[in-house]
């Protein structure tokens, strides 16, 4: 049955080869393409009170001809017909371009119906259509299609109508019944019919809703399959960490992992072990324990003989991470170094030398990490925190400092799963959706961008470093516009 819709458009009565060529220019090849060629807007023929019509809106009105129409010629072959109409309490002007012959149809005292764009300031309708007599259009909405070349809107309307009467019954559902019911979506055939031949605005909404849903769903499915493909086609390193060792490290932590942490650790380790390159987003609120998860991944990389890098957006965060990771790693003989922009001259040279020799196991820093002279011996794992503050380019540079290292992006910005699939389509997503118990209580404050200075000042006043609240500035410029408008800051005590 579907085969019917895959036929070339010439299967539709009235479409010959020439017409088929014109349609091909509009990317319409098959009967199905024609049926799915959606209008980009609708002509609204419902009569409206001019008082309720906004400037520049399209409108259909009935009016009594109040003056003899006059035609003014200008330029070559150009002319404008104007006529005064009494519409309700309004005396307005209707203008028609290049249709001088309408003069014959317009007689003083008679009623005509015109459709066009309302200019509120000039009290004028620039009309595209008119008919003698009262509003007699039996259709409230008429679809308007984008056309190309010799094609006209009228013609394509006719072709779609013909295609529908010949093949409409062949249109089949592509969404599972379950989803249709769950989301109360109308079926595909009805939806298509309504898109082309709507009779009311409610059903138009339903039809649109159905196709919006369909489009999103197909998009997501496509992204998922791309992701699968991408994973299978991105050779990486299989990091064979030492499990016993790793278990000892995890047991040695000052606290047991939460269920959510265990789950994401397993997801991450699974990726690292696989021969494919990890490309994973780790989302969890501030204080949910992402740093520990990152530490476990870094430990695993080290135990397999690889170096790790942790890139964070600010020096403050770099320092925080460096402190907590040093504490965790020191007992295990893992060397952590902080490469910030304040590391300069001889110290910097020495650090880079150690890095190249593999004497530094974990390097932490800001953009400083992606400078040209930063070379690793064998970078196996790249972690970025609050990753959307880095551009794609920066992430790529860091990634290329190793040979296909595994990559983990950490963020505290809640990203709805659906959006994550859309924005980070090619990534796998892990979520820490559970807070550690017995942790220090966390108060989160959201501060507007303008308050940044003030908040920072009070933060600096905290006497001892350890007492300072934790700052994070999850900018989401590239992500969600409402978030980017209010750059937020959360402070955890
Ligand atoms: P995030 O990076 O997600 O903001 P952190 O990793 O910095 O969170 O963890 C916040 C605090 O909670 C830290 O003090 C950390 O030591 C502590 N913590 C992390 N995981 C646990 C856990 N499973 N049980 C108790 N405390 C934890
Ligand atoms: Mg953190």
| Predicted pLDDT at 192 | 96
Does residue 398 share a domain with residue 261?
A: yes
Decide whether any atom of ligand 1 lies within 6 Å of the 284 Cβ. yes
Spatial distance between the Cα atoms of 349 and 345, rounded to a whole number of angstroms: 6
Please state the atom number of ligand 1 nearest to the C-alpha of residue 284.
3
Q: Residue 116's domain is classified under what CATH number?
A: 2.40.50.140
| Predicted pLDDT at 94 | 96
Decide whether any atom of ligand 1 lies within 6 Å of the 436 Cβ. yes
Which among 185, 213, 233 is the end of a domain?
233
Does residue 455 share a domain with residue 357?
A: no
Decide whether any atom of ligand 1 lies within 6 Å of the 255 Cβ. yes
Decide whether any atom of ligand 1 lies within 6 Å of the 425 Cβ. no
| Predicted pLDDT at 462 | 54
User: pLDDT digit of tens for each residue in the chain (493 aa)?
Assistant: 578 999 999 999 999 999 999 999 999 999 999 999 999 999 888 888 888 899 999 899 999 999 999 999 998 889 999 999 999 889 999 999 999 999 999 999 999 999 999 999 999 999 988 988 887 767 788 899 999 989 999 999 999 999 999 999 999 999 999 999 999 999 999 999 999 999 888 999 999 999 989 888 887 777 777 677 777 777 777 888 888 889 999 998 989 999 999 999 999 999 999 888 888 889 898 889 999 999 999 999 999 999 999 998 888 888 989 999 999 999 899 999 999 888 889 999 999 999 999 999 999 998 788 888 899 999 999 998 875 555 666 767 777 787 788 989 898 877 665 555 555 556 788 889 888 886 555 555 555 555 555 655 665 555 455 555 554 443 333 333 323 222 233 232 2
Q: Which two tokens stand for residue 130?
A: 């008119």
Does residue 375 share a domain with residue 277?
A: yes
- Mutation pick for ligand 1 pocket among 387, 439, 472 (CB with most ligand atoms within 8 Å): 439
Compute the distance from residue 331 Cα to the ligand 2 centre, in Å: 22
Does residue 256 share a domain with residue 227?
A: no
Does residue 220 share a domain with residue 249?
A: no
Establish if 94 belongs to a structural domain.
yes
| Predicted pLDDT at 460 | 59
Q: Counting Cβ atoms within 10 Å, is residue 17 exposed (0-12), middle (13-18) or buried (19+)?
A: exposed
Domain count, the chain: 4
Establish if 39 belongs to a structural domain.
no
Establish if 147 belongs to a structural domain.
no
Rg of the chain over all Cα atoms, to the nearest angstrom = 33
Does residue 333 share a domain with residue 191?
A: no
- Mutation pick for ligand 1 pocket among 287, 440, 442, 473 (CB with most ligand atoms within 8 Å): 287
Establish if 210 belongs to a structural domain.
yes
Establish if 263 belongs to a structural domain.
yes
Does residue 405 share a domain with residue 348?
A: yes
Does residue 224 share a domain with residue 126?
A: no
Q: Counting Cβ atoms within 10 Å, is residue 379 exposed (0-12), middle (13-18) or buried (19+)?
A: buried
| Predicted pLDDT at 487 | 29
Does residue 419 share a domain with residue 356?
A: yes
Compute the distance from residue 431 Cα to the ligand 1 centre, in Å: 15
Establish if 84 belongs to a structural domain.
yes
Compute the distance from residue 282 Cα to the ligand 2 centre, in Å: 11
Does residue 467 share a domain with residue 421?
A: no
Establish if 151 belongs to a structural domain.
no
Length of the chain: 493
Establish if 460 belongs to a structural domain.
yes
Q: Please give the sequence-ordered ranges of beta strands (E in DSSP) within 228-306, or none if there are none.
A: 279-284
Which among 204, 233, 262 is the end of a domain?
233
Decide whether any atom of ligand 1 lies within 6 Å of the 290 Cβ. yes
Spatial distance between the Cα atoms of 254 and 413, rounded to a whole number of angstroms: 26
Structural domain including 77 reads: 46-136
In 3D space, the residue among 232, 267, 215, 214 whose CA is nearest the CA of residue 426 turns out to be 232
Does residue 93 share a domain with residue 62?
A: yes
Compute the distance from residue 147 Cα to the ligand 1 centre, in Å: 59
pTM of the model: 0.54
Does residue 227 share a domain with residue 264?
A: no
> Residues 9-36: pLDDT tens digits?
999 999 999 999 999 999 999 999 999 9
| Predicted pLDDT at 276 | 85
Compute the distance from residue 287 Cα to the ligand 2 centre, in Å: 7
| Predicted pLDDT at 76 | 83
Q: Residue 333's domain is classified under what CATH number?
A: 3.40.50.300
Which among 387, 405, 432 is the end of a domain?
432
């Amino acid at each position: 049955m579907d085969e019917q819709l895959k036929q070339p458009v010439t299967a539709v009565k009235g479409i010959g080869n020439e017409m088929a060529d014109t349609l091909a220019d509009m990317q319409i090849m098959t009967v199905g393409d024609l049926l799915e060629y959606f209008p980009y807007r609708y002509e609204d023929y419902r009569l409206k009170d001019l008082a309720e019509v906004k400037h520049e809106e399209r409108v259909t009105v009935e009016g009594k001809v109040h003056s003899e129409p006059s035609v003014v010629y200008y330029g070559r072959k150009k002319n404008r017909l104007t006529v005064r109409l009494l519409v309700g309490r309004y005396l307005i002007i209707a203008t028609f371009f290049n249709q001088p012959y309408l003069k014959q149809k317009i007689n003083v005292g008679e009623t005509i119906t015109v459709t066009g764009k309302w200019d509120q300031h000039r009290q004028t309708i620039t009309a595209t259509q008119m008919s003698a007599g009262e509003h007699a259009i039996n259709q409230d909405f008429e679809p308007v299609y984008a056309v190309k070349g010799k094609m006209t809107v009228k013609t394509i309307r006719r072709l779609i109508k013909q295609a529908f009467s010949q093949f409409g019954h062949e249109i089949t559902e592509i969404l599972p019944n379950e989803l249709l019911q769950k989301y109360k979506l109308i079926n595909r055939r009805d939806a298509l019919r309504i898109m082309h031949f709507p009779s009311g605005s409610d059903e138009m909404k339903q039809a649109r809703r159905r196709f919006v849903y369909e489009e999103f769903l197909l998009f997501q499915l496509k992204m998922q399959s791309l992701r699968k493909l991408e994973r299978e086609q991105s050779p990486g390193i299989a990091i064979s960490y030492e499990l016993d060792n790793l278990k000892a490290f995890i047991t040695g932590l000052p606290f047991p992992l939460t269920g959510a942490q265990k789950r994401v650790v397993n997801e991450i380790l699974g990726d690292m072990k696989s021969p494919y390159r990890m490309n994973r987003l780790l989302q969890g609120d501030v204080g949910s324990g992402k740093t520990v998860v990152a530490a476990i991944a870094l430990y695993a990389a080290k135990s397999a003989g690889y170096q790790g890098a942790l890139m964070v957006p600010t020096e403050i965060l770099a320092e925080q991470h460096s402190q907590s990771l040093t504490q965790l790693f020191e007992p295990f003989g893992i060397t952590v170094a902080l490469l910030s922009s304040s590391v300069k001259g001889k110290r910097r040279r020495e650090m880079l030398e150690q890095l190249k020799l593999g004497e530094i196991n974990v390097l932490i820093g800001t953009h400083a990490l992606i400078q040209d002279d930063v070379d690793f011996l064998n970078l196996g794992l790249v972690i970025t925190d609050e990753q959307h503050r880095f551009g794609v380019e920066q992430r790529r540079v860091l990634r290329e400092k190793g040979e296909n290292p595994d990559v983990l992006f950490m963020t505290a910005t809640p990203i709805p799963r659906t959006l994550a699939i859309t924005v980070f389509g090619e990534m796998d997503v892990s979520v820490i959706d559970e807070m550690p118990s017995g942790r220090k209580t966390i108060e989160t404050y959201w501060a507007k961008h303008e308050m940044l200075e003030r908040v920072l000042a009070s933060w600096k006043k905290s006497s001892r470093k350890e007492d300072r609240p934790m700052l994070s500035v999850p900018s989401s410029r590239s992500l969600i516009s409402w978030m980017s408008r209010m750059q937020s800051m959360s402070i955890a005590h």
